[in-house]
Amino acid sequence: MTVHSPNVREVSFTIKPGELKRIRTGWRDASSKVVLDLKNGAGLRFDNLAYRFE
Amino acid sequence: MNQVIPLEFARYVLLHPDKDPQWREHAKQLIEWVKTTPKWPKYIVHGATVTTEQGNGIEFCCYLPNQCCDSHTSRLAAVEALYFMKTGDEAYKEAAFRSYNWVTYFQGLSAKAATPFGPQWWFTDEFADGPRRMMDAFYAVPEWAPADETHLRGSSSIATHVSYGKDSVTYSTFDPEATDVLRLDFVPESVMADGRALAARKDLNAPGFIFDASTKVLRVRHQGAKSVSVQGSGEQAPSLYVTFDDPHLAAGTQLERRYPSGIIDWEPGAWQISVPHGKFGTFNLSLVDPKAETAGFVSTRRGSSSGSMHTTEVRRRLV
């Protein structure tokens, strides 16, 4: 999975089947749009999206 | 024989040394006994002592160490951490740190834990005794707590209220005399107790506060005052969370637009609310089309300078 957004560095993660993983974008610059590019994303679930307003 | 009673006794005298003039010796001996008694097996992995609950030297409860008993190991680590807090003995801090690390693999809805999805329903391991004793860690060794968050980590009294704001925290204790421990994400500029300023000190032999700039740990002693207010500067805006539980939407609901209201605009037809499943114990987010190769969302924040946000963290699972 690659998370990208205009004007900030994209970050990529590999998650194994069945794995629970906390991922951090590490982004410090604010951005309004987030896009996730996925490969083999069937069964993918997300919880507790954390963010900070500028 | 079990380890609950000796360790809870040790914890009590460490937190209330006035009740036992020999608290230091008794706590140390009880820790040692729990770690060495042949009444039940122990397991040492990467320096972490893992203990089960009880035994008679022949039979024991409940599983082999490393298969269960995170609450009991968490209790052992807590007493060791508190022993370090009271005595400064670094060996106990290190032992606690390693056992706590083991415990983290069994907390929440971990696959290895005896959760409701396991063969036994030991809620206490993952949701009561286990995490409670982990909270002791952040009181005893507050620099283990996250550096980018402000929290009241503990008190010699009972906290009856706490409120966090940007560059501030206010709290109250049940007793008018207490010593409290906080880890801050800002530098305090004033510490007030019932409206009266407390002075920075080198020790807490009298009311006042000590702030360690390197760890941002604040220790406050107040007397004749129950409410404490800490004000400062330099903190980041606090993290906010979308949990997909609040406001609650029915499972299978597609997020067509804004959810929660005024926070995120979801790409229509791409996302849906999903039921608790596997390691996720609460409602969560999934793709409508499991074969989708892209999906997105947009901040709908209005009124800020850019209408934007930092997406700092996402927990995800691939099943």
Judged by CB atoms closer than 8 Å, whether chains meet at A43 and B239 is answered as no
pLDDT in tens, A23-47: 888 888 888 899 999 999 998 999 9
pLDDT in tens, B139-177: 999 999 988 889 999 999 999 999 998 899 999 999 999
What pLDDT score does B118 carry?
A: 59
Residue B319 has pLDDT above 60, yes or no: no
Mean model confidence pLDDT for chain B: 89
The structure's pTM equals: 0.77
Distance from CA of B172 to the nearest CA of A (A): 28
Q: In this structure, are residues B62 and B55 in contact, taking their beta carbons and an 8 Å threshold?
A: no
| Residues of A whose CB is below 8 A from B315 | 20-23, 46-48
Judged by CB atoms closer than 8 Å, whether chains meet at A45 and B284 is answered as yes
What pLDDT score does B307 carry?
A: 38
Arithmetic mean of pLDDT, B287-309: 73
| Residues of A whose CB is below 8 A from B278 | 18, 20
pLDDT band at B302 (very low <50, low <70, confident <90, very high): very low
ipTM computed for the complex: 0.95
Judged by CB atoms closer than 8 Å, whether chains meet at A47 and B298 is answered as no
| Residues of B whose CB is below 8 A from A45 | 274, 277, 280, 284-286, 316-319
What pLDDT score does B115 carry?
A: 61
Judged by CB atoms closer than 8 Å, whether chains meet at B317 and A44 is answered as yes
What pLDDT score does B312 carry?
A: 53
Judged by CB atoms closer than 8 Å, whether chains meet at A30 and B310 is answered as yes
Tell me what percent of the residues of chain B surpass a pLDDT of 90. 68
pLDDT in tens, B106-137: 887 666 666 655 566 677 888 888 999 999 99
Judged by CB atoms closer than 8 Å, whether chains meet at A32 and B295 is answered as no
Distance from CA of B199 to the nearest CA of A (A): 33
Interface of A with B (CB under 8 A): 1, 3, 5, 13, 15-54
Distance from CA of B238 to the nearest CA of A (A): 7
What pLDDT score does B289 carry?
A: 95
Q: In this structure, are residues B270 and B308 in contact, taking their beta carbons and an 8 Å threshold?
A: no
Distance from CA of B36 to the nearest CA of A (A): 35
Tell me what percent of the residues of chain B surpass a pLDDT of 70. 90
What pLDDT score does B305 carry?
A: 34
Judged by CB atoms closer than 8 Å, whether chains meet at B310 and A29 is answered as yes
In SS3 terms, chain B reads as: CECHHHHHHHHHHHHCHHHCCCHHHHHHHHHHHHHHCCCCCEEEECCEEEECCEECCCCEECCCCCCCCHHHHHHHHHHHHHHHHHHCCHHHHHHHHHHHHHHHCCCCCCCCCCCCCCCCCCHHHHHCHHHHHHHHHHHHCHHHCCCCCCEEEEECCCEEEEEEECCEEEEEECCCCEEEEEECCCEEEEEEECCEECCECCCCCCCEEEEECCCCEEEEEECCCCEEEEEEECCCCCCEEECCCCCCCCCCCECCCECCCCCEEECCCCEEEECCECCECCCEEEECCCCCCEEEEEECCCCCCCCCEEEEEEEEEEC
Arithmetic mean of pLDDT, B52-60: 92
pLDDT band at B185 (very low <50, low <70, confident <90, very high): very high
What pLDDT score does B64 carry?
A: 80
